[in-house]
Structure 1
Amino acid sequence: MREILENAYGYIFEEELINEILKVSQYKKFKADEYLIEIGDYIKTMPLLIHGAIKILREDENGDEFLLYFLERGDTCAMTLTCCMGQHKSKIRAVAETDGEMLMIPVEKMEEWLTKYKTWRNFVFESYNVRLNEMLEAIDTLAFKNLDERIFKYLSDKVKVLGTTEIANTHQEIASEMHTSRVVVSRLLKGLELQGKIKLHRNKIEVLVF
């Protein structure tokens, strides 16, 4: 476990902090599509992702979901930080995009380490900054981009997160996360294929440029 943690966070945290993380954290494995955090949950621990990818979603009053951002190895979730430290209910849903592993940090240690370790404080502040920029980008994409551009960005982001140019999502799954219909997604995907940006296969989408 030490080697895995150091590979993911060793360039950020000093040895003493890594030792504390290993001492107090709870190890958790998860499977693709597993619900890790649900809207309305009280969150008592903060995740440090050491392997895999997680998508963070918001839900509107009709129950439709909107993708905010992905978490990758070496990341944590700013929404989780806020809920933990403020003892608020979660306003996001976290769903595993792939199989993975994470370490869960007790909330009391999060607060203690803010004053004890400069590297931890920098990590928390930088995490807030990164997640804020990603949410602003998501808002800009929703407000200013056409739906075909949004779908292509969604596919490009998946390529970066998963490390593969072949995306296994169905047209219906993409439609759900894009707040549109499967028919519209299928039509726009065909248009992207004609532009040479993707290649449609029977059970996958291959991204050719990103």
Structure 2
Amino acid sequence: MEDFYAQYNFLEPELLEEILQIAVRKKFNQHETLIREGQFISSFPLVLKGLIRVSRTSEAGNELLLYYLQAHEVCAMSLTCCMARQTSEVNAVAEEETVVLLIPVEMLDAWTTKYPLWKQYVMQTFQNRFRELINTLDAVAFLKLDERLVKYFVDRHNKSGEHTFSGTHQDLALQLNSSREVISRLLKKLENEGKVSLSRNFIDFSGLL
């Protein structure tokens, strides 16, 4: 568990020991779902490795990307559902092979009271995710779709370090609440400008970075 100690060494030593005693380490493959909308949450994940996409889905099947989670982060929306004892209002999907520690929800309140550094970590998580949600709302409200597409790739790089996207144009369309035809046209425009390179189910967006 060296990776755990290295990433979460800012927490109280006693808390680290508690986490190791009760947490379940689990690996999720790329595109595997960790949390579904409407699911009752019995545990929340601490991310050790990988990248998680947290989103909402409309009745029509379109997706709104809320934020990404990476190593040493925890999902604020799942914490909120845990506190309120409600079902999940988001989907969480592994964008790449991801390893997490699953913590029983009943520990959240106890640790928040018992460990000041854990409380600070949770509050900082809420603040960070709130800021990202504001950025998401700003993008939807004020940016054109071509600008949102570029922002999607840049944000993905900033979180994961990756400069490629593995998936279909339809996948992108669902995440940006658009149509495949429109996304394909915008990607072709970016390719003609030398900013992306397109191949089957694969996009290299190095030229945007």
Work out whether the TM-score is over 0.5.
Answer: yes
TM-score range, shorter chain: over 0.9
Could you tell me how far 1:155 is from its partner in structure 2? 1.2
Q: Which whole-Å CA distance do the structure 1 matches of 2:92 and 2:179 have between them?
A: 23
SS at match of 2:208: coil
Q: Which residue of 2 aligns with 1:139?
A: 137
Report how far residue 159 of structure 1 moved: 2.0
Unmatched 5+ stretches in structure 1: none
Scaled by the length of structure 2, the TM-score of the pair is: 0.94
TM-score normalised by L of structure 1: 0.93
CA offset digits 1:50-71 (Å, max 9, x no partner): 0111111101232322111111
- Bigger mean CA deviation after superposition, 17-26 or 195-204: 195-204
Secondary structure of 2:66's counterpart equals strand
Aligned 8 A contact 1:159 1:167 in 2: no
Q: Deviations over 1:86-105 (max 9, x none)?
A: 10111111111111111111
- Offset at residue 81 of structure 1 (A): 0.4
For residues 161 and 124 of structure 1, what CA distance do their matches in structure 2 show? 19
1:148 aligned residue: 146
Equivalent pairs, count: 208
Unpaired segments ≥5 residues, structure 2? none
Query: Shift of residue 166 of structure 1?
Result: 1.9
- Alpha-carbon distance in 2 for matches of 1:175, 1:76: 27
Match of 2:71 in 1: 73
The aligned residue for residue 7 of structure 1 is 6
2:92 pairs with 1:94 = yes
8 A contact 1:53–1:71 mirrored in 2: yes
- The alpha-carbon deviation at position 110 of structure 1 amounts to 1.2
Question: 1:203, 1:63 → 2: CA distance?
Answer: 20
Q: What SS does the aligned partner of 2:7 have?
A: helix
- Relative to structure 1, the CA distance from residue 13 to residue 72 in structure 2 (aligned partners, 3 Å threshold; closer, same or farther) is same
Q: Partner of 1:70: helix, strand, or coil?
A: strand
2:24/2:102 contact within 8 Å kept: yes
Instruction: Give the aligned CA root-mean-square deviation in angstroms.
Output: 1.4
**Residue 164 (structure 1) aligns with:** 162
Cα distance between partner residues in 1 of 2:156 and 2:132: 14
